[in-house]
Amino acid sequence: MASTLDAVRASLKRRFSPSRYLRHSNGLRRVAIGGAGSEWVVSRALCAYAVFECPALSAARRKAFLDTAVRRWAPFPDPQFHAEWVGRKAMVWAWSKAVVGTLGGGVDDDPAAATPRRILPESIFVGSVDDAGAVLLAVAEGVEGRVWRERVLVASRWWRQSPDRVEWNEFLRGSGLPAIDDVPIPEPAPLSARGWSLTGGDHLAGLALRYRSQALAAIAGLVTFSLMVPIAGAGRALWIESRIEAEIAAKDEGLQRIMRAREAAERDAARAAGLLALRPPARQSELLPAVLPLLGQNVRILEWRLPTPDSLEVTLALPNPDPLALVQAWQDSGRFRDVTADLGRSAGEVTVRGRILARSAEAAP
């Protein structure tokens, strides 16, 4: 009985999983058989790799930002790419749509092979995530050097054959690591059934993929049960299947609400920052007590103006004015910068101008 159930589960898993093909330099090679269309794994030899730092944006704006950044960086005029996120950092593998789509060779017995549901890079199906360090992997074509830092693949380079010591040390130094005496032996890196980066993604696509896999596994188990109990099992399978689909829809709706709330919060924060930027660095009641000690004795203020919210212009009348001394005193006060002083047309008249500096938190009362 156990062997029969295992065989049924394996059959259902193949039915609900896509056939997987490795897209290498000479065409397609099937690496897994399934019954739900096909997906391609693009050889590392056909991919370029880079890491992008994304500002704090909503999910939709983050995708648009990355699309633009990849188009500017990619060494192809028609890039397609796959990204894996760690915080604000995107690990990106890109390939040429035309080159990958027109490579010769294929699998004649599977018409779906030519129209994959999705295309993913080979790198996420070989090796594993590491906290730090360098590793050399033997991939489907050639070898791939990797440098990890804080679980981010900060550097990746492909060679047709194992690099010599000079090439390997250039790669290490370019990634911020010291040179070594011996090149490591490439570690065998066969394709795994599930990508290392697809198990812990925190973006919306990763969540949707994870929930769908759980739903398909539950459906497969229910179909197995219905085969053993034809009438009651089939009815229960349909009921539970509808429950699962409803839960998936509810989770998706909740994620959409969170995304909308975050976008609204970001808009409000930007609006508040814009309003705060309109405030002058200091109030008039603060400026006058700050300026008076800088003027000395027997000084009259003829005119007091704020041409802009962050600048002050004061016209003074004083005996024997010394513009340089006034400029020095205002600069040293810590409340002004870019200070200038010009003698006026009348004797003893001088105009002092300066940019107002905000008072530091430590100096505030």
With contact defined as beta carbons under 8 Å apart, do 47 and 83 qualify? no
At 117, the amino acid letter reads R
Q: What are 196's two structure tokens? A: 């290392």
DSSP 3-state of 237: helix
DSSP 3-state of 175: coil
pLDDT at 206 exceeding the cut of 50 = no
What is the structure's pLDDT at 13?
A: 62
Counting every residue written for the chain, the total comes to: 365
Q: Give the separation between CA 51 and CA 175, rounded to whole angstroms.
A: 12
pLDDT at 332 exceeding the cut of 80 = yes
At 177, the amino acid letter reads L
Predicted structure pTM score: 0.53
pLDDT at 209 exceeding the cut of 70 = no
What is the structure's pLDDT at 34?
A: 83
Place of tokens 């492909």: 158
Q: Which residue has the higher pLDDT, 214 or 192?
A: 192
Q: What are 248's two structure tokens? A: 């998936």
Positive or negative, the CA dihedral 39, 43, 44, 50 is negative
Q: Give the separation between CA 86 and CA 248, rounded to whole angstroms.
A: 24
Reported as a single tens digit per residue, the pLDDT across 38-63 is: 899 999 999 999 999 988 888 788 88
Q: Which residue has the higher pLDDT, 236 or 73?
A: 73
User: What count of other Cβ atoms lies within 10 Å of the Cβ of residue 306?
Assistant: 15
pLDDT at 208 exceeding the cut of 50 = no
Place of tokens 């009641």: 285
Q: Find the mean pLDDT for residues 302-319.
A: 88
In our burial notation (b when 16+ CB lie closer than 10 A, e otherwise), range 148-163 reads: bbeebbbbbbbbeebb
Among 155, 123, 143, CA closest to 183: 143
pLDDT at 205 exceeding the cut of 50 = no
Question: β-strand 38-42 against 19-24: which pairing, if any?
Answer: parallel
Reported as a single tens digit per residue, the pLDDT across 11-33 is: 666 666 888 999 998 888 998 88
What is the structure's pLDDT at 225?
A: 62
Q: What are 53's two structure tokens? A: 């730092």
Q: Give the separation between CA 84 and CA 150, rounded to whole angstroms.
A: 14
Q: Give the separation between CA 302 and CA 285, rounded to whole angstroms.
A: 18
Positive or negative, the CA dihedral 167, 171, 176, 177 is negative
Question: β-strand 118-121 against 38-42: which pairing, if any?
Answer: parallel
pLDDT at 327 exceeding the cut of 80 = yes
pLDDT at 122 exceeding the cut of 80 = yes
Starting from the edge strand earliest in sequence, which strands make up the sheet with 89-96, in order? 48-53, 89-96, 79-86
Mean pLDDT lowest for which of 7-16, 163-172, 199-208, 251-260? 199-208
Q: What share of the chain is helix, strand, coil (3-state, %, to 5)?
A: 40, 25, 30
Among 68, 109, 114, 62, CA closest to 89: 62
Reported as a single tens digit per residue, the pLDDT across 222-232 is: 656 666 666 66
CB neighbour list of residue 247: distance below 8 Å, 6 or more residues apart: none
